[in-house]
């Protein structure tokens, strides 16, 4: 899968601005691991959760995989 495929798939599953729980569920990891992964990314405060832009999240996933 290339970057665009992952972005498209993640948008279908979580929407354009997923929170930590949605990211963790999509990646099948714990919320703590997902929180560590998105550390340093910009976010939008939405009540009690932080929403992250899906393109930034996918970029971080690929960066950590070394692609």
**pLDDT tens track for 13-65:** 999 999 999 999 999 999 999 999 999 999 999 999 999 999 999 999 999 88
Domain of 24 in residue numbering reads as 3-65
Number of domains in the chain: 1
Name residue 50's beta-bridge partners: 45
Domain of 15, CATH number, reads 1.10.10
Q: How far is CA 7 from CA 19, 45, 48, in A?
A: 15, 22, 25
Give yes or no for residue 1 having a pLDDT over 90: no
Q: Which residue has the tokens 């560590």?
A: 36
Q: What is the DSSP string of 4-54?
A: HHHHHHHHHHH-SS--HHHHHHHHTS-HHHHHHHTTT--EEEETTEEEE-H
Give yes or no for residue 67 having a pLDDT over 70: no
């Amino acid at each position: 899968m290339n970057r665009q495929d992952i972005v498209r798939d993640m948008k279908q599953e979580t929407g354009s601005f997923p929170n930590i729980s949605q990211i963790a569920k999509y990646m099948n990891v714990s919320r703590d691991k997902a929180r560590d992964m998105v550390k340093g990314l910009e976010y939008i405060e939405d009540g009690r959760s932080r929403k992250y832009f899906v393109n930034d999240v996918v970029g971080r996933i690929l960066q950590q995989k070394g692609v």
